[in-house]
Each structure stands twice: as C-alpha cells, then as structure tokens.
A and B are shown apart, each in its own frame.
Chain A
Amino acid sequence: MSHIEVRGLTKSFGGHLAADGISFAIGKGSLVGLLGPSGGGKTTVLRMLAGLERPDSGDITFEGVRVNDIPPQKRGIGLVFQNYALFRHMNVFDNIAFGLTVQKRSKTYIRERVGELLELTGLAGLAERLPSQLSGGQRQRVAFARALAPQPQLLLLDEPFAAIDAKVRKELRLWLRDMIDRVGITTLFVTHDQEEAVEVADEIMIVNRGRLEQKGSPEHIYGTPQTPFVAGFIGESSRVEAVSELHGFEHCHEGAKAIVRPEFIEIGSPRELRLPSASGQGIVKAVFFRGTHWQVEVEVGTNRLFGYRDLEQPALHPGDATHVLVHRAYLVSGGQVSVVENRYKTDPMPVHI
C-alpha cells in the first residue's frame, strides 16, 4: 500500500481552480518532487496535504486512513515553508524544540534530540542565535531540523532553496538528498527548478494550471513526455511549426507541430555529422558563445531550431549554409505527444507512445 494517496483533489479560490482533480500515490520512504511553473498550484497541494487548506473535493489518505477532517496538529507532518517561517523571537534551540515541547517530552529528551538535530544539520554552536542572526542557508536548515524534530511521518518542503543564492543552493541540494536518505522519511518537495527536481527526487510530478500533467522517474519524464506542456517544460526545446519540412520527417502530415530538443540536433558540414544521409540543408541565423560550447540557431524551411556545437569544431557564422541532422522530434497533436524518429535512420516506423 502506498503511504500517501490523493484522489481527485480539487480546490478553487474565488472561481480560479488552483488544484483540478489531482490524483497520485507516494510510496513509503520515497522522495518525490512536485515541479511546475509559478502559480501552477504546487503550494496549494502541499497545504492541503498539511491540513492548512481544506479541499473542495477529493480525498487524502495517509496509510489508508482518510485524513481530510484531521486538523494539521494531528497529521504528523513536518512542513518547511518557502520563507521558513521560523519563530523570530525564539533562538535556534527553542525553534527546534517547539514541536517536542508541545508533545510534553522530558527536558533531557528534548536536549538530546535537539543536540542530535543540530549535529545532523551542521548547526552545532549556533543554538543560542536568533533567526535574524543567521544566513539564508542556516535558516533553511533550522526550519528543516524544526520540522524533523517531532519525527513526522511525512516531510513537506515548499521551494526549500528558492531564497538561497545559486552556489549555496547546489551544496544544500546534495545535503538535503543525503539527509533524507539518512532519516528515511517520505518526502514531497516543491520546486519550479527542473534541475533541482531532477537532481534531488526519485520521482517527479509535473503540475501546471492545477492539473497533474505527468508523474514518473526523471529519466522517464525526460525521455517520453506525455503532454505538450511537459515536452516544452522539461529540458530545453525549440517549437517546430511545420515538422514535415524537416529532412527525415516528410511522412508527418503537413502542418503537424513538434518540439525538438537541442540534444536531438547536429549542425555542421556533412563530414562532421554522424549520418549525413539523414541530414537536410539549413542556414545559420545566429551563433552564441555559451562558455563550454556554441549555441547555434539555424533556419530549416520556415522553422527555426537551435542546437549545440563543440568549441573544438570550426566556428560557424550567421549566413553560412550548413547541414542539420534532426535525430528525433516530439510530435504534438490534440494534447498528446508521440516520439518520432528520423526515418532515414535505422527504424523506418515512427514510435507512438
């Protein structure tokens, strides 16, 4: 049985659907990322799980027990807010001890448990500080320790790294992953940063406009997006308005639209391409230096695509005629996405998923 199960969760704010029939299940001990654009409804889902927001309809069950009518106090969840919401007048120790004091634990137990968590989160020595005397990363870890202290069954994290600068964020991500593995707690964390989701989560759920678009492992979502939104949201992509103009995709019906990732594209002279026979003609429109590679924009028919090129390869210039090899494309039709391979490569039949 899954640990957390959600069925048909719906919530609207003044006629605006923030969550629209969301259903999913989370296995015990897994770390799931809730990924989607801002305003997509991620926080709303998290707050409903925590009991801070009441769903208009739908059920939430923890270990098979319906918790819809159980108040947040009794759900046994640890919640880390987007801006941490530390108790500003309490020092680090008292913040972390709050949940234990509520449980009326003994003084010795509290001192031990808080000490343990301070150690675990690398905050030893800061117990006397007030939240205002901590850096963003330190605050984040206090919030994390505070949520873990009463040993909740489910940990919810709302954009835990959003307020932290880029470099520290990377360190904290690895730290979080490591920490959750060690504690072994079922965790759902919200983010709008796909790199973060891919790096941290076992499984990703993509939410957009209050709807769950797709759920699966990062590899699965990346390789086989099921909706046009997911295909365009995950990874980098160019939108192709007339895919039948691309060499190797003439069999697609005229006017069919597609999404193509830069890593599906090779740009260069026929000698540089792996399968020159599968490539078509294109014109270089723009070239950007990206530090470790060139980003090249090419025009093929009426489509504009972009791909990457090694710094070791001869430079291309705007206006150059070049060859473009498109290995595959995500064909978009009627809200469905199918993967189509270049027909001049090995497999002559398109693969529908």
Chain B
Amino acid sequence: MAGAVPAVSAARGQCAAVHAADHLTEHAAVRWLLIGIALLFLGLFLILPLVTVFVEAFRKGAALYFAALREKEALAAIRLTLTTAAFAVPANLIFGLAAAWAVSKFRFRGKQVLLTLIDLPFAVSPVISGLVFVLLFGARGWFGPWLSEHDVKIIFALPGIVLATVFVTFPFVARELIPLMQAQGVQEEEAAATLGASGWRIFWKVTLPNIKWGLLYGVILCNARAMGEFGAVSVVSGHVRGKTNTIPLHVQILYNEYKFTAAFAVASLLVLLAAVTLGVKSFIEWKHHQSAHTGAEESGDPI
C-alpha cells in the first residue's frame, strides 16, 4: 500500500513532463531566432566592450601597456584601491555576519526595520551615499569643526574613501547569508548546545562550516564592488593625484586627458578582477551543486 502511492504519482509526474515538453517545444526556427537574439545582445553589450578594453589597451604594444601600469600615479591608485578593499571587505564580512546572525537566529523587535536598513545602500544612488559623508564629516559638515580642531582628516582622505566604500558594499555579505541561514534554522546549533558546546565552538564548528560557500560568495561580490566603486568614492575623494584616486577615478582622469592607451590599460585591471570574480563564483556554484547532487543521488536507498 505504502509503495503504491509514490508509484502512481511518479507515473503521473512523467505524464505531465511529456505533456509539458510537447507544449514547450517550439519550432526550430523560433528557437534559433531567440537564441540568436540573446547571443547578439550579449555580444554587443557585454563581450564587445570588454574586448574593446583590451584592444585599446594593447593598441600601442605590450611595452606601453605595462609602462602605463608602472607609472607612479597608476601604482598609487592601485595601492589605494587595495588598501580600501583591505579595510572595507573585512569590515563588511564582520558586519554582514553579525547582521545575518542576528536576523536569522534570534527573535526580536525591529527585525523588519533592520532588514530594510540592510538594503538601503542598494536603494540610494552612490552619489547620495558619498554626499551624506561629506555632509557629516566635511569641513562645513556636522562633525567638521570638531574634526579639524583635532586635526583628523576624513573627507578627501583614506578614511572617507573607506567609509563610503563600506557603506556602498554593506549589503553584499548580509544579503547572501540571511536567506541561507534562515533556511538552515537553529536546530544544528541547538543540538550542539545540548552536546555541551559553548557558543564560540558552535559558531566555528557548526555555523561557519555550513555557510562558508555563501560567505565566500558574498565576500567576492563585496570585494569586486569595493574595488570598482566610482560614484560614492568620487564624491569623498577630492581627486588628489597620486593620493586619493582609486583605480576607477584614475581611469576617468586619464581618459579625460586623452591618454586612451593608459586609461584602457588601467581599466583592464578592473576587467580582470571581474573575470576572476566570475570564475570564483562559478566555482562556488559548481561546488554547491556537486554537494547537493551527491546528497540527492544516494539518499534514496533503504534502511
């Protein structure tokens, strides 16, 4: 009796699948047309610009390409970008983990408000995000007089760039982790507690291993955005050459000065970063898929 029910529903499922296939299969010409449109679109709007970057960067030979990267101001921009990411990414890793932890593992008032706030940086224009920091910490801002009295420089300096970047990239880690941690629930943590594990051990041995791929993915996206952010950083940077220009700002300056080869050479770094990001992302997804697959494959065997 118990065996009969799944058998019936399985047969029905197959029927439905065959039926659906009939309906969903379009004429070959229609299929090729749709695929063609999609490929054309991808080629025009994604591949072509990326290829252009490299073509332009190498137009005057590899020697000039590498010379453009070795230039003093370019090196300074690269260093500043890396420094900014080195502050912003770990900060958001910790903020994101804490926020996701609070939202998914505890019941408390104002949870919805917190969830909305986490999305705020996605909702406002980066330029506005930058302006907010100028209004707070700029010379005529709320804390401006106090800051200049104590000789602390935030706007038009590294701290301002880091703050703006942290703000803009805040949601990436939290957004990635919250659905994952909510789906996983708190039962494994509770089981670990009944087995005697302290909160610290529970985090390292149970929670973290369960979210590591999602966390890595969030960090990768966060890093890509932290290095590539233009709008917010542009507002707080002050564009001091060799001092407060990140890679995107440096590219813009070179371009405005008609140094196209140099501009594209530096820009190619960001394209490479994007490629690496996508590569890591696919790897993580493949890894995820693989573990899910082995699970589904072998869980059906009897007792």
Known contacts A102-B201, A132-B295; decide if A138 and B303 are in contact (CB<8 Å).
yes
Chain A 155-198, CB within 8 Å of chain B: the 1/0 string? 00000000001111001100000000000000000000000000
Find A150's partner among B2, B196, B301, B303 (CB 8 Å cutoff): B196
Find A135's partner among B193, B205, B303 (CB 8 Å cutoff): B303
CB of B139 within 8 A of chain A?
no
CB of A52 within 8 A of chain B?
yes
CB of A12 within 8 A of chain B?
no
**Cross-chain contact A73 with B197 (CB below 8 angstroms):** yes
**Cross-chain contact B194 with A72 (CB below 8 angstroms):** yes
Find B192's partner among A78, A89, A98, A134 (CB 8 Å cutoff): A98
Contacts of B110 in A (CB 8 A): none
Contacts of A79 in B (CB 8 A): 190-191, 194
Question: Taking CB as reference atom, which chain B residue is nearest A78?
Answer: B194
What total of A-B pairs shows CB separation below 8 Å? 87
Chain A 132-148, CB within 8 Å of chain B: the 1/0 string? 11111110000000110
Contacts of B194 in A (CB 8 A): 50-52, 72-73, 75, 77-79, 147
CB of B188 within 8 A of chain A?
yes
CB of A81 within 8 A of chain B?
yes
Contacts of A166 in B (CB 8 A): 2
Q: How far is the CA of A81 from the CA of B186 in the complex (A)?
A: 12
Contacts of A292 in B (CB 8 A): none
- From 250 to 299 in chain B, residues with beta carbon under 8 angstroms from any chain A beta carbon are 291, 294-296, 298-299
With both chains docked as a complex, state the minimum distance between the C-beta of B142 and any C-beta of chain A, in angstroms.
Answer: 41
Question: Taking CB as reference atom, which chain B residue is nearest A132?
Answer: B295
Dominant secondary structure at the B interface: helix
**Cross-chain contact B295 with A99 (CB below 8 angstroms):** no
Known contacts A130-B295, A132-B294, A133-B295; decide if A98 and B302 are in contact (CB<8 Å).
no
Q: How far is the CA of A113 from the CA of B201 in the complex (A)?
A: 22
Contacts of B195 in A (CB 8 A): 98-99, 102, 146-147, 150
**Cross-chain contact B187 with A85 (CB below 8 angstroms):** yes
CB of A103 within 8 A of chain B?
yes
Known contacts A72-B193, A73-B198, A132-B291; decide if A168 and B188 are in contact (CB<8 Å).
no
CB of B210 within 8 A of chain A?
yes
**Cross-chain contact B197 with A102 (CB below 8 angstroms):** yes
- From 194 to 242 in chain B, residues with beta carbon under 8 angstroms from any chain A beta carbon are 194-198, 201, 205-206, 209-210
Contacts of A171 in B (CB 8 A): 303
Known contacts A98-B192, A103-B196, A167-B2; decide if A135 and B187 are in contact (CB<8 Å).
no
Q: How far is the CA of A130 from the CA of B299 in the complex (A)?
A: 10
- From 157 to 197 in chain B, residues with beta carbon under 8 angstroms from any chain A beta carbon are 187-188, 190-197
**Cross-chain contact A83 with B187 (CB below 8 angstroms):** yes
CB of A352 within 8 A of chain B?
no
Question: Taking CB as reference atom, which chain A residue is nearest B201?
Answer: A102
Contacts of B190 in A (CB 8 A): 52, 72, 79, 81, 85
Find A81's partner among B187, B197, B296, B302 (CB 8 Å cutoff): B187
Q: How far is the CA of A102 from the CA of B197 in the complex (A)?
A: 6
CB of A87 within 8 A of chain B?
yes
Contacts of B196 in A (CB 8 A): 73-74, 99, 102-103, 150
Contacts of B294 in A (CB 8 A): 130, 132-133
**Cross-chain contact A168 with B303 (CB below 8 angstroms):** yes
Q: How far is the CA of A70 from the CA of B195 in the complex (A)?
A: 14
Find A89's partner among B209, B298, B303 (CB 8 Å cutoff): B209
Q: How far is the CA of A248 from the CA of B302 in the complex (A)?
A: 53
Known contacts A102-B201, A130-B295, A150-B195; decide if A87 and B303 are in contact (CB<8 Å).
no
**Cross-chain contact B191 with A81 (CB below 8 angstroms):** yes
Contacts of A150 in B (CB 8 A): 195-196
Contacts of A147 in B (CB 8 A): 194-195
CB of A274 within 8 A of chain B?
no
**Cross-chain contact B191 with A168 (CB below 8 angstroms):** no
Question: Taking CB as reference atom, which chain A residue is nearest B193?
Answer: A72
Contacts of B197 in A (CB 8 A): 73, 98, 102
**Cross-chain contact A135 with B188 (CB below 8 angstroms):** no
With both chains docked as a complex, state the minimum distance between the C-beta of A47 and any C-beta of chain B, in angstroms.
Answer: 8
**Cross-chain contact A73 with B193 (CB below 8 angstroms):** yes
Beyond A87-B191, A132-B291, A137-B302, list 10 extra A-B contacts (CB 8 Å).
A71-B193, A73-B194, A98-B197, A98-B205, A99-B196, A132-B296, A135-B301, A146-B191, A146-B195, A147-B194
Residues of A within 8 A of B (CB): 50-52, 71-75, 77-79, 81, 83, 85-90, 98-99, 102-103, 130, 132-138, 146-147, 150, 165-168, 171-172
Residues of B within 8 A of A (CB): 2, 187-188, 190-198, 201, 205-206, 209-210, 291, 294-296, 298-303
Ranked 6 nearest A-B pairs via Cβ: A132-B295, A137-B303, A85-B187, A99-B195, A102-B196, A85-B191
